[in-house]
Amino acid sequence: MKFSFEVQIDGYRFDAVGHESGIVASVELKNHLGSMMCDWWISGLNATGELVALARLEFGMGEMDEHSGMKQLPQVYARVIAPMVEEFQKGGGLPSAPNPPSVQTKVALCKLHLDLHKAEENIGDHLGIRTNVARQYQLIKSFGLKAARPLIAEREGLPVSTISRRLYLAREAGILAKMSDADDINS
């Protein structure tokens, strides 16, 4: 996976972001008690074709500064994370983010991952309007952001009512679970 470093989105800085083969990864580094900690968000299509956060991983990288930590991220991905991605996909991903970050961070994560999934062609007009909107909705919800419709409307340049209609049609077509079948109907 090829990484870009120190990426800003909506005033939020990610230490590294990468994408390839339909998978997107974002990483934040933090020095904690002398050890460099990395916080990874991995997203992609799961085994049933839903676009979701597949995993959130936090672990230590040892004693080093942030620059050294960033230099090691591509090798850490290749050696540690990439071998697990297929299992994450089989496992279905995260229905909602564990230990969710702040709303501002969730919005930045969603925008970043959506932009890179568009580059990976996991979302976009080529999929048709129902699948495109449904996948964006799935990803946003899996990051734990409740305001999915307004974010999709902003990205697509459409009214929220149009996005709501497309989501309804996606549910009717079986692309998304119907609201009465969804676990998060009241949230």
Q: What is the pTM of this model?
A: 0.89
Provide the pLDDT for residue 7.
Answer: 95
**How far is the C-alpha of 77 from the C-alpha of 26, rounded, in Å?**
11
Element housing 74 (H / E) = helix 66-76
128 Ramachandran zone, left/alpha/beta (phi>0; psi -120 to 50): left
Tens-digit pLDDT profile for the chain (187 aa)?
A: 999 999 999 889 999 999 999 999 999 999 988 899 999 999 999 999 999 999 999 999 999 999 999 999 999 999 999 999 999 999 999 878 777 788 899 999 999 999 999 999 999 999 999 999 999 999 999 999 999 999 999 999 999 999 999 999 999 999 998 765 454 443 3
Element housing 156 (H / E) = helix 148-156
Cβ pair 32, 103 in contact under 8 A: no
| Closest CA relative to residue 121, chosen from 41, 40, 21 | 21
**How far is the C-alpha of 153 from the C-alpha of 163, rounded, in Å?**
6
| Closest CA relative to residue 164, chosen from 153, 175, 173 | 153
**How far is the C-alpha of 156 from the C-alpha of 172, rounded, in Å?**
21
Provide the pLDDT for residue 91.
Answer: 94
| Closest CA relative to residue 44, chosen from 80, 1, 12 | 1
Provide the pLDDT for residue 15.
Answer: 96
Provide the pLDDT for residue 79.
Answer: 95
**How far is the C-alpha of 118 from the C-alpha of 98, rounded, in Å?**
24
Provide the pLDDT for residue 10.
Answer: 87
